Amino acid sequence: MSCERRLLVVGWDGATFDLLDSLIDRGLMPNLDGIMREGFRSTLLSTMPPISAPAWSTLITGMNPGQHGILNFVDESPPDSAGLNRHVEEPASAPVEVFPGGYSVINATRIHAPTLWQRLTSAGKEIGVMNMPMTYPPEPVKGFMITGMLTPPGASDYTYPSALRSELDDYEIELELGEREFDFPPVQFISRTIEIAQKRGRTALRLMRERAWDAFFVVFTGTDRIQHRFWNVLAPRAVAGQTSVEERELLPLLHEYYKLLDSLLGEMLSVAGQDALTMVMSDHGFGPIGDRSVHRRVLARMLGLQSAGSRSWPVRIRSFAESRLGVTWPRVRRVLARVAPRSWLQYVERNLRAREAESQQKELGTIVPFVGHLGGIRFNRDAFGDRPMAEFRDQIAGELTKLVDPRTGENLVANVWPGDALYHGELAATCPDLVFALNPTYVLAGGVGRNRSLVGPRTSHPLLQGSHRRDGILIASGPGVRPDSSGEARRLEDVTATIMAHQKLPVPKQFDGRPIEEALGGLEWVLSSGETESRRAGFVANGAWTSEEEMSAVVERLRGIGYLE
């Protein structure tokens, strides 16, 4: 192993300069402050949508979702979009859908493009990968891998090599299911998040010292979890009127988490050595979540995507409960989850989603929720016939920009992008035809509002305080690293290309980014001289899970942090 070009990548999921700068000003993160003063700093643009699954998949592949095929934690795309299932081998067993006719949960086997791990391993590089989302199930590498987010609770196959698991002692990947719920007591929630970060940090430092490595990747996801629940408490502009006395009393404990991350960063920098390149990055940024809901079923009807007449009876009952009684399914589910068996609740949800999916097959399009204020629109190509779809898309985009809140007159939609402006590649047809961002004071919600209103009070969990933004962080430190005063934002794809160049490997032509030469003085790199493989080894068209129970447990984890209704 050659250590002269060692690379350390530390991921803080959802980290944003909006928060970190205020913590540095308080003197809470001296190690981060030090490398930012001496090194390179840039806003890092996430994918659209800025969700961990597509964002980390882009870092892992160097490509946009139109090439790697991941848009969310669940797959709601038509099964034969872009001929996906016509040019890949069928999996050994049929994909398991948690909600038949609705969606299936993805994992690392669904990443369509070759991964960074495969490229580094093929080049003979020793690598260590810890807790990176979108790595379960683990794949063979030259080195080791410990999988991260989407690893099912109780899974035993989360390491490569498998024998590594016996060396991890009390290591934990995530909070337990009940601990992730927003109703879990806040002090225990924060304390357990700190505890898991301590275990991850200890394990990472031990492996960094004991194992050979050219490139080491470790991700801490507690930043995302804490900011979802306590953004208003942490936010630098938080004032007494925004937070309760109880919440403000939590601030010192919350600060302990960020102080721990900074301390671990300092130790990792020391172990990596002065000759290593260190990059601290996030997959997306963060900000406050809006306090008003825009109901997507009403929105779909207003845009002419769906009609009321084709709805199935379960959907009609749900709409009646929401519009006349103000009772939403997420609220009902939270109550039932305390008293009803999980299997019965899943049965009800399966049927609701299956019926809704049947109704949507007859419609012109579907509004897909992403996260917070972001959504997409996917057209049903079979329903169009000879009607020009591009013309309809432009019409819908225009209608979105005209929407206003009846109460305030405020514009509801801040931006609209055609899908082909965001996605390109073999799988671009599986991506939405339109993507839109609401004004951040609004949240895209399911169902219908009271009296079938488009806009109403927020219906998501009241303790949810923060949501994703596109502006993440990138900080680089090490030999030859130069400060940057341009203020130019970089992209996740650029980080992957920079990793390849730093490791003296050709940058594949299919990459959507280029090495950040401004950050690294004297960085020399070349494009690959020929085309490389376009599909990932081990790719499975619809993901591979061992059982429905395994995937259902992952769904509960995603719901516990507000990613699913």
Q: Would you kindly state where each structural domain of the chain is located, as residue ranges?
A: 7-15+43-253+491-560, 292-459
Banded pLDDT at 526 (limits 50, 70, 90)? confident
Using CA atoms, how far apart are residues 445 and 465, in angstroms rounded to an integer? Answer: 15
Q: Is the pLDDT of residue 422 over 50?
A: yes
Task: Report the DSSP pairing between strands 143-147 and 159-160.
Answer: antiparallel
Render pLDDT for 219-230 as a digit per residue (tens, 0 to 9): 999 999 999 999
* CA dist list (Å): 55 to 282, 409, 443: 9, 34, 21
Higher pLDDT, 537 or 392: 392
Q: Is the pLDDT of residue 501 over 90?
A: yes
Render pLDDT for 38-93 as a digit per residue (tens, 0 to 9): 899 999 999 999 999 999 999 999 999 999 999 998 876 554 443 343 333 333 33
Least confident of 169-183, 273-287, 418-432: 169-183
Render pLDDT for 292-351 as a digit per residue (tens, 0 to 9): 999 988 899 899 887 755 555 555 555 545 554 455 656 666 666 666 776 666 666 666
> In sequence order, what are the residues at sequence separation of 6 or more whose Cβ sits closer than 8 angstroms to the Cβ of residue 479?
274, 275, 277
SS3 assignment for 402-440: HCECCCCCCECEEEEEEHHHHCCCCCHHHCCCEEEEECC
- Note the pLDDT of residue 253: 96
Find out whether the peptide bond into 49 is cis, omega within 30 degrees of 0: yes
Higher pLDDT, 338 or 414: 414
* CA dist list (Å): 143 to 124, 211, 273, 394, 502: 10, 8, 19, 49, 18
Contact 136, 158 (CB under 8 A): yes
Structure tokens at 200: 């991850």
Classified as helix, coil or strand, 367 is strand
- Note the pLDDT of residue 92: 32
In 3-state terms the chain splits into helix, strand, coil percentages (rounded to 5) of: 40, 15, 45
- Note the pLDDT of residue 97: 41
Contact 564, 150 (CB under 8 A): no
Using CA atoms, how far apart are residues 269 and 24, in angstroms rounded to an integer? Answer: 18
Task: Report the DSSP pairing between strands 374-379 and 365-369.
Answer: antiparallel
* CA dist list (Å): 436 to 377, 400, 440, 441, 455: 8, 8, 12, 14, 16
Banded pLDDT at 99 (limits 50, 70, 90)? very low
- Note the pLDDT of residue 131: 97
- Note the pLDDT of residue 91: 35
Q: Which segments of 113-176 does DSSP mark as H helices, in order?
A: 116-122
- Note the pLDDT of residue 487: 80
- Note the pLDDT of residue 90: 36
Calculate ∠ Cα 62-66-72, nearest 5°: 90
